[in-house]
Structure 1
Amino acid sequence: MTAPALPDLRTADVVDLTRALCDIPSVSGEEGPLADAIEAALAGLPHLEVLRDGDAVVARTQLGRERRAVVAGHIDTVPVAGNLPSELRTVDGEEVLWGRGSVDMLGGVAVALHLAARLTAPAWDVTWVFYDNEEVEAERNGLGRLSRNHPQWLDADFAVLGEPSNGGIEGGCNGTLRVSVTTAGRAAHSARAWRGVNAIHLAAPILTRLAEYQPRSVEVDGLVYREGLSAVGISGGIAGNVVPDSCEVLVNYRFAPASSLAEAEAHVREVLAGYDVTVVDGAAGARPGLDAPGVGDFIAAVGRVTGGGPAPKYGWTDVARFAALGVPAVNFGPGDPSLAHADDEHCPTDQIRDCASALEAWLTEGAP
């Protein structure tokens, strides 16, 4: 079977390149063929050093510039849902690329590959990172693996993650914490319910506290992050004629990057005081990083193309991994994040081209 290949990165239109990426299925855990194609396409570019760890591919310039930027994106997608091969369609009078991965986030990957080939002498040294397994459990994340195995590959003064942001800058990200809250009752036959204690009924005050909770809006470095504390699951009971003796409420807290993971846990325990609370998982957020040297030029370059300014990122993204390495990072990529993972996933082609133009303007401004 012939291995898939990408068009020549030096001459391909960035939208055509996005289509080519989408049409090589790369569901999490099955990114090998796409990683092979990316590595092969980059290997022929003499201005780049190409490295690989598993299905993560890294390419970098070594020009001796005073500053280094990382431009990163994940190459995996969620499972296909009848939305491949990709197509160009018209939606509300606008040309869009329709298909799995067009938003999350092969449009951003295409922008990075397009520029990696074109920018042979940028003003910054640039490390281009294409990694696997972002859409699955954190321990499999390719960027996390790179940070453990080769942290020096990610050394930089600033990072841009090509997550979909509608072509605008989204600084940092909220943190996330999931906890399990349990109640204990006493089982009984439901025909003699008075002999038992219903654990699901005991969970009602938990739900009331969450329903009445007023989430905070927290300003961090000039951006306002909205928090949220929500019940996202509830389970209990073993049969239709048994009073349940246990109940579990799963709660998710999205917290502003001004708080640490420990502070977020303490807040949740305070809200749910009196109940058995167990942490299931969590990840700290990332501050915006908009005051890092050179970032003002990035904001200006994007603003000239899109006309917009920075906004907060409410969801958690891998910018937090860069923040943990001491590298300020922002989200910037084509596509509406609300369409990520949707069966009708599609991205305006103008956004793909605009993101490429803005990044190119920033990385070449002041170049020798």
Structure 2
Amino acid sequence: MDIESVSGNEAALADAVESALRGLGRLEVTRNGDAVVARTMLGRAERIILAGHLDTVPLPTVAGSRGTVPVSWDGKVLYGRGATDMKGGVAVQLAIAATVPEPSKDITFIFYDNEEVAAVKSGLGRLARENRELLDADFGILLEPTNGTVEGGCNGTIRFEATTSGLAAHSARAWMGENAIHKAAPILARLAEYEPATVTVDGLDYRESLNAVKIHGGTAGNVIPDQCVVEINYRFAPDKSPAQAEAHVRELLSGFELVCTDSSAGARPGLNAPAAASFVAAVGREPLPKYGWTDVARLSEMGIPAVNFGPGDPLLAHSDNEHVDADAIRECLAALTRWLG
């Protein structure tokens, strides 16, 4: 964690990870940019993926914040950027590689860059395009923070811009114009009245949400605005495709100009895979749904059922007080060691 690795600046950490993995002498190691893939080659009947991203969001700027590099450690709790999201999980990956030399399943360890930024930059996406053969597996585990509970699949996400147009005029003669911000009121009303669904998918209940997340318009304090843009985000259950999610939002906001700006499919829970049942048993907790989008969706898209499982409270991710209990890391390591031992 003392190696700063804000998105786009993962090289030093990738170098350290690569060096540690090559030093074990028993893994096939491949480097692609600032992503590192290491594989056991034991001829096991099953191969599983343990994946985690190396990058973090930028360091906090709040004076006196504990979320800094170097980290703060009191013997029980580790404070610092990436403690939860997700260097605690990466530490577990590295520990498994070092301490479980003869796992019951072949393992592909994936450490990748640029998860916290635009999807087009994703190191996992780049690996899927350029080294797809390295990613073949029967089951995947993404070590995102889940408080040590298996979280199946993830919701999808789609974003829109809803634009209203008016006519600019001096605010002292407002009757000469048309207020575009006022025209956006019905959009906000429909969103405020919308009741999001809870959808059961393969036994897990996924809560959806549909919200205005940003609004902007107007040019000056004495000008009637001639344009207003409302940015909207829909988090949809993995029973829907992005196309179905888009159709749903367009129906709700019919009559308004909508432009889809971004979308990512969700992932079904992944608990139907043969490896999933034994893994859940090793963890010993009832699985939960993942409401946020994670890279299990990328694995699912490749035909690899996958779940989220890692140390730390996801609510602390990106916070200036980001921290993780040492015991939480040890418990995740123990569960994976039981399963793989």
- The verdict on a shared fold, with TM-score over 0.5 as the criterion, is yes
2:42 paired with 1:63: yes
- Matching residue's letter, 2:112: Y
The unaligned stretches of length 5 or more in structure 2 are none
* 1:78 corresponds to which of 57, 70, 76: 57
2:6 paired with 1:27: yes
Q: Counterpart in 1 of 2:32?
A: 53
Give the drift of 1:115: 0.4
Deviations 1:37-71 (CA, angstroms, capped at 9, x unpaired): 11111112222111110000010011111110000
Q: Counterpart in 2 of 1:163?
A: 144
Q: Could you say what secondary structure the match of 1:65 adopts?
A: coil
Q: Counterpart in 1 of 2:106?
A: 125
* 1:309 corresponds to which of 286, 306, 316: 286
The unaligned stretches of length 5 or more in structure 1 are 1-21
Report how many residues are paired.
335
2:227 paired with 1:263: no
Structure 2 Cα separation of the partners of residues 294 and 322 of structure 1? 15
Q: Counterpart in 1 of 2:307?
A: 330
- Matching residue's letter, 1:233: K
Q: Could you say what secondary structure the match of 1:200 adopts?
A: helix
Q: Counterpart in 2 of 1:208?
A: 189
2:72 paired with 1:87: yes
Structure 1 Cα separation of the partners of residues 156 and 109 of structure 2? 25
Structure 2 Cα separation of the partners of residues 252 and 46 of structure 1? 47
Give the drift of 1:186: 1.0
* 1:37 corresponds to which of 8, 13, 16: 16
2:271 paired with 1:294: no
- Matching residue's letter, 1:37: A
2:100 paired with 1:115: no
Q: Counterpart in 1 of 2:254?
A: 273
Q: Could you say what secondary structure the match of 1:177 adopts?
A: strand
Runs of 4+ off more than 2 Å? none
Q: Counterpart in 1 of 2:331?
A: 354
Give the drift of 1:211: 0.3
Normalised to the residue count of structure 1, the TM-score between the two structures is: 0.90
Structure 2 Cα separation of the partners of residues 139 and 269 of structure 1? 25
Structure 1 Cα separation of the partners of residues 273 and 233 of structure 2? 31
* 1:153 corresponds to which of 134, 140, 143: 134
- Matching residue's letter, 1:330: V
2:322 paired with 1:345: yes
Structure 1 Cα separation of the partners of residues 34 and 73 of structure 2? 28
2:215 paired with 1:238: no
- Matching residue's letter, 1:34: L
Give the drift of 1:251: 0.3
Q: Could you say what secondary structure the match of 1:317 adopts?
A: coil
Q: Counterpart in 1 of 2:116?
A: 135
Q: Counterpart in 2 of 1:283?
A: 264
> Is 2:140–2:306's contact at 8 Å kept on the other side of the alignment?
yes
Give the drift of 1:148: 0.5
Give the drift of 1:219: 0.2
Give the drift of 1:309: 1.1
Q: Counterpart in 2 of 1:13?
A: none
Structure 2 Cα separation of the partners of residues 207 and 182 of structure 1? 12
Structure 2 Cα separation of the partners of residues 206 and 50 of structure 1? 52
Q: Could you say what secondary structure the match of 1:288 adopts?
A: coil
Q: Could you say what secondary structure the match of 2:173 adopts?
A: helix
Structure 1 Cα separation of the partners of residues 174 and 213 of structure 2? 28
Give the drift of 1:89: 3.1
* 1:189 corresponds to which of 151, 157, 170: 170
Deviations 1:228-281 (CA, angstroms, capped at 9, x unpaired): 000001111111111111110000000000000000000000110110010010
Q: Alpha carbon RMSD of aligned pairs, Å?
A: 0.9
Give the drift of 1:84: 2.1
- Matching residue's letter, 2:9: E
